[in-house]
Amino acid sequence: MDRKEFLKRSVAAAAGILLAEHSKIFRTIPADAQVQQPTIYVSKDKSPSAMVSAVVAAMGGMGKFIKKGSKVTIKPNIAWNRTPEQAATTNPEVVSTLVKMCLDAGASSVVVTDLPCNPWQVTYVTSGIKEAVERAGGIIKSPSKFRKVQIPSGIVLKEAEILEDVLDADVFINVPIVKVHGSQAKITISMKNFMGIVKDRGYFHRTDLNQCIADICSYLKPALTVVDATRILLTNGPQGPGSVKETKMVFAGTDFVALDAFGSTLLGVNPADVRHIQIAEKMGLGQSNLSKIKIRYV
């Protein structure tokens, strides 16, 4: 091989590596991200495990999202030192069911992680998620390793240090709970759950919380979002304790804007009044108009 051919192949290889890395980061954004009528799959009045199974089955089964040997990262809300009954953290049975489904679909590993507001050593245990994940065969990971990335579509948030377990996953699954959230964000469901993958979430509050939420969501879209509404927190969110409603519901989809628009109605909040939902729609990240969202009960 002469020098010219060597350089040609080297450039091609380097380009391939860059393309692969770009694809790895953005690979979960579906080709139909701009569809006008996303579908939300809703299951009610069953056990948390049965409802998770029902919505995932309706979407085509976990095998639609997980290929054999995939590395999966699941991100629940484990932010606070609260029990499952207080509805400030994701229901552990919802999380453990997803872990088991991923492993049954052929995942090589399933990591569950979050960067809590209270110490993770406490919240992981009190929430019941650590025990549930380990029982299901998953790996519960501390939020210790981050990597700085650029946010190409960010308006305010131009870069962020993100959990490596999220960046390095082949499949990223978001598993939030439905809660109110004070005056600024109003709600915390799918999109705001992304704050738990960012090292410096204080920057969000110091600048423009709602724009930063939309900005981080523009960087990496989960392959699947499963929303825990088995219990929802109606007051004193996001931490609680507050008024808890037993809604006995799980819903799922691939459009997190649509999911948050639907979820906000469970809290008595108009999605048109939630600024990060409206910003995200204007950025082309999803659909917030409930008349253009198909709700399928399964």
AA letter at 175? V
4 and 48 part of one domain:
no
What's the pLDDT score for residue 17? 39
115 and 228 part of one domain:
yes
What's the pLDDT score for residue 157? 98
Report the alpha-carbon angle 284-192-214, nearest 5. Answer: 30
**DSSP H helical ranges for 178-234:** 202-206, 209-219
74 and 146 part of one domain:
yes
Instruction: Please name every residue paired with 181 in a beta bridge, in sequence order, or none if there are none.
Output: 186
Say if residue 68 is exposed, middle or buried (CB neighbours under 10 Å; 0-12, 13-18, 19+): exposed
H-helix or E-strand containing 49? helix 48-58
- The residues of the chain scoring below 50 in pLDDT are 2-35
AA letter at 237? G
Contact 215, 205 (CB under 8 A): no
Cβ-based neighbour number of residue 150 at 10 Å:
9
* Token representation of residue 14: 């380097």
130 and 20 part of one domain:
no
- In whole angstroms, give the CA distance from residue 32 to residue 36: 9
205 and 160 part of one domain:
yes
CA atoms within 13 A of residue 267's CA, in its CB half-sphere: 31
Contact 191, 59 (CB under 8 A): no
What's the pLDDT score for residue 184? 86
Q: 231, 222, 120, 136: which is closest to 172 by C-alpha? A: 222
- In whole angstroms, give the CA distance from residue 110 to residue 146: 18
- In whole angstroms, give the CA distance from residue 143 to residue 115: 5
56 and 202 part of one domain:
yes
- What's the CATH code of the domain at 253? 3.40.50.11440
181 and 86 part of one domain:
yes
Q: Give me the domain span that covers residue 107.
A: 34-297
Q: 116, 111, 186: which is closest to 141 by C-alpha? A: 111
What's the pLDDT score for residue 143? 97
24 and 77 part of one domain:
no
AA letter at 145? K
The total number of structural domains that make up the chain: 2
105 and 169 part of one domain:
yes
13 and 94 part of one domain:
no
What's the pLDDT score for residue 291? 95
What's the pLDDT score for residue 10? 44
CA atoms within 13 A of residue 229's CA, in its CB half-sphere: 28
57 and 127 part of one domain:
yes
What's the pLDDT score for residue 26? 40
173 and 129 part of one domain:
yes
